[in-house]
Chains A and B, each alone.
Chain A
Amino acid sequence: MADEVIHADNEIRNIIQAYPPEKRFILAVMQDVQKSCNYLPKEALLGIAEYVGVPFSRVYSLATFYKAFSLTPKGRYNIKVCDGTACHIKGSPVLIDQIQNSLGIGPGETTADEIFSLETVNCLGACAIAPVMMVNDKVHPKVSSSAILEIIKGYRKEADHEE
């Protein structure tokens, strides 16, 4: 366990040091950390602040400002359910309820096994195929309440397979 922590620290350090220690690279570093860890750990923010020479509070301010960053671990599969006007009318609240019932997580939460996390977004810009849902980078169009369980099941299988 202790080895793992040190390993993670090294990994983060490598990501940070891939950029020159300049203010303008803070967001780029944070994007890379977010991609690699699925969230921004406190050590990473402290590391960035120290490396670039910017107060920790400033880095934290940036990290909380952008929706693209998360300070709590996101699941391996991040489900984004569109809750814009068109999707809302086409039944996205039902989809959110379905996910909540099946995975036991609400918007902004992550399952205990860190496989799934759920968030709602205001518009994915694809109203013609409403209701839309995205899992990581894959778009699922015209999701029905029966299809959604199949989709989740598919990802669950994929996750089991990987392990």
Chain B
Amino acid sequence: MIIIIDNQEVQVSYGDTILDAAQRAKIHIPTLCHHQAFAGQGRCRLCLVEVTEQGRKRIVASCTYPITREITVCTSTPRIEKMRKNLVMFLYKQAPASKLLQSMYRDYECQDNSLPENAGEKCMLCNLCVLACEEMGSSAISLIMRGTEKKVATPYNEASLDCLGCGACAAICPTQAIELTERDGYRTIWNKEFKLVNCQNCGQPYATQEQLAYIESRGPDNEMLHCCLSCRQKMTAQKIKIFT
């Protein structure tokens, strides 16, 4: 099936989202809550596009809109730009301490207004950390409460039994809202302290005990499990060298 995105013909399969199709064709659609590892969430709404179907126009979130018919998509119209500007303004009000949203607020030339701000907040509630945690197999964090009190947290804000301290949540966070500190061989995240294990090869701390125990419990022993990422890459490179 062929659809038209910004006057360009794009080959798509039935059920692809508009965002996937556009990204494959190297057509840029701004996003905040999207990550290639996960399906579209439709949370931030920044990926709004205008879809024309049988002469009718409507605005949809491209990350969750599956293509089932031949449609024409426009990723930028004055109407969409105006909506995106408003969305960026609201997202900035939710997380005004985030450097990313501060710069977007400037780039989109949002006008200052008297709407209250969530002072000091960096989290814009994109939910990517929750998805990452679930994917890692822990599901230690989730979105709790609702409305203006909504936030990401562990149950009862306590150190979670399920948390492995892997830091996937902090790594995926687009606004660096999740605090992860490492000091004297210990990592602290989500009110819990983890002892770090040193790489057998170079001696640098690289993972938590809980993380390694979890990986070992899931599969056969891997010699490289006890080495840090950069040592693993070096060892793999060595192996390939022998092959060639």
B102 at the A interface (CB under 8 A): no
Which of A12-20, A22-30, A58-66, A76-84 has 4 or more CB atoms under 8 Å from chain B?
A: A58-66
Given A42-B156, A57-B155, A57-B160, do A64 and B146 touch, yes or no (CB 8 Å)?
Answer: yes
Residue from A45, A57, A61 with most neighbouring chain B CB atoms (10 Å): A57
Who on chain B is nearest to A54 by CB?
B139
Which residues of chain A from 45 to 96 have any CB-CB distance to chain B below 8 Å in the complex?
45, 55-58, 60-61, 64-65
- What's the nearest-Cβ distance from chain A to residue B192, in Å? 14
Which residues of chain B from 114 to 147 have any CB-CB distance to chain A below 8 Å in the complex?
134, 138-146
Interface size class of A (residues with CB under 8 A): 10 to 19
Q: Which residues does chain B contribute within 8 Å of A58, judged by CB atoms? A: 139, 142
Q: Which residues does chain A contribute within 8 Å of B142, judged by CB atoms? A: 55, 57-58, 60-61
A65 touches B154 (CB 8 A): no
A57 touches B141 (CB 8 A): yes
- Interface residues of B, count at CB 8 A: 16
Write out, one digit per residue, whether chain A residues 114-157 have a CB within 8 A of any chain B CB (1) or not (0): 00000000000000000000000000000000000000000000
A55 touches B139 (CB 8 A): yes
Give Cα distance in the complex from A56 to B146, angstroms. 18
Main secondary structure of the interface of A (DSSP, over half): helix
B162 touches A57 (CB 8 A): yes
Write out, one digit per residue, whether chain B residues 64-103 have a CB within 8 A of any chain A CB (1) or not (0): 0000000000000000000000000000000000000000
Who on chain A is nearest to B143 by CB?
A61
Write out, one digit per residue, whether chain B residues 179-216 have a CB within 8 A of any chain A CB (1) or not (0): 00000000000000000000000000000000000000
Give Cα distance in the complex from A61 to B139, angstroms. 11
Give Cα distance in the complex from A60 to B139, angstroms. 11
Q: Which residues of B contact A (CB under 8 A)?
A: 134, 138-146, 154-156, 160-162
21 residue pairs from A and B, CB less than 8 Å apart: A55-B134, A55-B138, A55-B139, A55-B162, A56-B155, A56-B160, A56-B161, A57-B139, A57-B162, A60-B142, A60-B144, A60-B155, A61-B142, A61-B143, A61-B144, A64-B144, A64-B145, A64-B146, A65-B144, A65-B145, A65-B146
Q: Which residues of A contact B (CB under 8 A)?
A: 42, 45, 55-58, 60-61, 64-65
